[in-house]
Structure 1
Amino acid sequence: MKKLLTVLLAAGVMTTAAAPSFATPTLRLTSGAVTKTVVDNAANDATEESGVVGYMGSVGDFSLSVTTGVTKPYQGDEYNPYLDLNSLSGTSGKAGTLKLEFTETGFLSIDNVLYLLSQIGGTINNANGSSLTYDVYADASNAAFGTGTQLLHAQYGTGAFSNTDFLKGDLTNPFSLTIVATLTHGAGGTSSFDAFVGVPEPTTLGLLGIGVLALGRTRKKHKSKSL
């Protein structure tokens, strides 16, 4: 009996050690020397839903109508990663840069292999020099805003845009995911975008086939309506 109790206690310790640590979904918005950090369900969170983080207001030279980040438990779960970063009507009165980051930790992959679908679309203001840089990171240290593995890097110029990518990463569990969107305005104007990263639906996987996913990345670019 004593030996059995010892085994059970040891198993409990091992289970506790292997369990993922969970952080709170967090938005981080930076323009110049100004940084606004919004934590899920904190006083400055514009939404009441767990897993949905919202901000409305100014960040440096930019005014944001609505910026939201959506993840688990509102959408997705540990084994079905889901991150969506949406910014509607980001406006500046002059040239400037706004960095928008959204992160969540505690995701798990089967056999330490991760397949994700990335979709982004929006409209960048027409001023010369305006652009949006889009990065997706996974981090095996499970750190919020961790950048251990870059899964995607893309850049878009002025006007309407949309893009779809299929991402693959080899990771140890648990891990974090982070979307980073860097918006640059060459002059005053307004831009909007919506970026999503998550596990593809089974029907999508069936249509594409495992062979396509094994390639790690395919890209299709076309015009879309502005958000």
Structure 2
Amino acid sequence: MIKRFSILALGLAIALPSAFGSPMVYLSLQETGFAADTANSSSGFVSLTTGSYGDFQINNVTGTGSPVFSAPDLNLQTLNVSATTLSSSKTLTIELTQTGITGVPTPFNFDNAFTGILKGVTSETLTTYTDPGNTAFATTDMVATTTFTTSGANSVNQMAIAPTGTPFSETEIIVATFGPTTGVSDSLDSSILMGSAVPEPTSIALLGGGLLGLALIRRRSSKKS
């Protein structure tokens, strides 16, 4: 059973986004045929960690936004999301959204940093969005997107201008396809950092720590295989 921090029903999160006076961060895992696993927080950090979900093992999935980061910086990270026994391909969708963002000019020039470490994963698509209507998980205006299909480490940065609002929401989505597997674990470590062209120091420090974690996990996995 996945440990949940500050969990609230996803339906409530979507139905009442405009009711919150300060930024809220929401995280969701979704596999077809299974109920979404969700968490949310007003602290700027949210996590789903250590356990099974659907056909997958979730070591750690985190989302970080305001006030931990200065708005509009938002970071979605997965650490060792894996699947071992899959007779057919399975797709996992991971979504992070932040509502109630203010004080950002419109339009805004976003820097989108995409990273994916793929082991046996067929493909991973990472996409960012904004919504001037301030709705959780809205995909009104696509900011940037990329797809990784190469095994090993992948990374790309994209600058893109997108509309915001007062307040507005932003959403990051990872869609990863695993399997079929043959007894060897497929795994995914990834990150999306969406925000200002020059992230403020706290963002840089926390992202650096997360990427170090990705590297350590991949190193341990390599030693075990």
- Decide: shared fold, TM above 0.5: yes
Deviation at 1:172, TM superposition (A): 3.1
Mapping of residues 150-169 of structure 1, within 5 Å: 150-159=142-151, 160-169=153-162
**CA distance, structure 2, for counterparts of residue 73 and residue 194 of structure 1:** 19
TM-score of the superposed pair, with normalisation by structure 2: 0.71
2:201 matched to 1:201?
no
Deviation at 1:192, TM superposition (A): 0.9
Letter in 2 for 1:52: F
Q: Against the structure 1 CA distance between its residues 60 and 202, is the aligned structure 2 distance closer, same or farther, given a 3 Å change threshold?
A: closer
Match of 2:124 among 132, 146, 158: 132
Give the alignment's Cα RMSD to 1 decimal: 2.4
Check the 8 A contact 1:125/1:185 in 2, yes or no.
no
If you compute each CA radius of gyration, which structure gives the higher value, 1 or 2?
1
Q: Which ranges in structure 1 are unaligned for 5 or more consecutive residues?
A: 1-18, 42-49, 204-224
Deviations 1:180-221 (A, max 9, x none): 000111323111111110112289xxxxxxxxxxxxxxxxxx
The corresponding residue for 1:72 is 66
Check the 8 A contact 2:104/2:164 in 1, yes or no.
no
TM-score of the superposed pair, with normalisation by structure 1: 0.70
Q: Against the structure 1 CA distance between its residues 40 and 161, is the aligned structure 2 distance closer, same or farther, given a 3 Å change threshold?
A: same
The corresponding residue for 1:88 is 79
Q: Against the structure 1 CA distance between its residues 137 and 64, is the aligned structure 2 distance closer, same or farther, given a 3 Å change threshold?
A: same
**CA distance, structure 2, for counterparts of residue 97 and residue 55 of structure 1:** 18
2:23 matched to 1:38?
no
Check the 8 A contact 1:126/1:158 in 2, yes or no.
no
Letter in 2 for 1:199: S
Letter in 1 for 2:39: V
The corresponding residue for 1:121 is 115
Match of 1:181 among 174, 177, 193: 174
The corresponding residue for 1:192 is 189
**CA distance, structure 1, for counterparts of residue 156 and residue 97 of structure 2:** 21
Q: Against the structure 1 CA distance between its residues 187 and 166, is the aligned structure 2 distance closer, same or farther, given a 3 Å change threshold?
A: same
SS of the aligned residue for 1:25 comes to strand
Q: Against the structure 1 CA distance between its residues 87 and 81, is the aligned structure 2 distance closer, same or farther, given a 3 Å change threshold?
A: same
Q: Which ranges in structure 2 are unaligned for 5 or more consecutive residues?
A: 1-18, 201-214, 219-225
**CA distance, structure 1, for counterparts of residue 129 and residue 75 of structure 2:** 13
**CA distance, structure 2, for counterparts of residue 91 and residue 29 of structure 1:** 13
Q: Against the structure 1 CA distance between its residues 202 and 158, is the aligned structure 2 distance closer, same or farther, given a 3 Å change threshold?
A: closer
Check the 8 A contact 2:132/2:163 in 1, yes or no.
no
Check the 8 A contact 2:125/2:175 in 1, yes or no.
yes
**CA distance, structure 2, for counterparts of residue 163 and residue 169 of structure 1:** 18
Check the 8 A contact 2:72/2:104 in 1, yes or no.
no
Deviations 1:51-77 (A, max 9, x none): 11011122210111111000011111x
Check the 8 A contact 2:23/2:66 in 1, yes or no.
no
Q: Against the structure 1 CA distance between its residues 23 and 71, is the aligned structure 2 distance closer, same or farther, given a 3 Å change threshold?
A: closer
